[in-house]
Amino acid sequence: MLIYFFDLKIIRKLHNSCCQENVAFFIFIRGKIILEKSKPTGVLLDNATDRMKGFIPKTTDNQKINALMLAQKNCFAKGLTTVTDAGLDKEDILLIDSLQKAGQLQMKVYAMLSPTKENLDYFFLKGPLHEDRLTVSSVKLYADGALVSRGALLLKPYADDPGNTGLQMEPTSYYDSLCRLAFESGFQVNTHPLAIRPTDWCWMFMEPSSKVKTTYAGASNMPK
């Protein structure tokens, strides 16, 4: 589930005059901007947050390194020596790898790739990465939203939100292509559907992958 709160001035740039009076939400592709009397509240659900990422200041390498060092200190203090991060980008994985090789980061990390074109183009062509303290051999697949935001994909509409059965985060063809490409590149696909409905089609996509032969020629081949 992705529920973000943003400055209303920024959201109004996206909202403009697209909505009518008393509309409860403005729908993006597989996401929503929650409104009150046709005005944005500052709450964005699921894929609607993608439109806002350009407004978020980019985290510097020094900030990331300081955060990793502090996280490691806190984990070691509790006896935790290995962590799994579901959905990392190429630049963050390479930073972790460099810190580990420099002896600064001792924490073991199992990193799942966030399924962006840049990440898949880089790692699918190279194959899984297995270092002493770093493993990159899987992709995080985002199936649906969450129950609390009425985004989990249900078989029937929500009792308190008639007509809404939740949000499938990507087209069905996208999941099929991603699973096939991941298998051929030696990567595992990981997901955790929030409801019963996506659980069924997750098995449908993942199970036949062992019988399908494809050639990876770039993430742009995956339908959107």
Distance, in Å, from the CA atom of 38 to the CA atom of 202, rounded to the nearest integer, reads: 36
Average pLDDT rounded to a whole number, residues 2-20: 43
Task: Say what the pTM is.
Answer: 0.71
Give residue 182's pLDDT band: very low, low, confident or very high (50, 70, 90). Answer: very high
97-108 confidence digits (pLDDT tens):
999 999 999 999
Write down the domain spans for the chain.
Answer: 1-57, 61-140
Distance, in Å, from the CA atom of 174 to the CA atom of 172, rounded to the nearest integer, reads: 5
pLDDT at 115: 93
Average pLDDT rounded to a whole number, residues 176-204: 78
**3-state class percentages of the chain: helix first, strand second, coil last, to nearest 5:** 40, 20, 40
pLDDT at 213: 40
List, in sequence order, the alpha helices (H) in the chain: 8-15, 61-77, 90-101, 117-126, 172-184, 196-206
Nearest by Cα to 194 from 116, 156, 142: 142
pLDDT at 216: 36
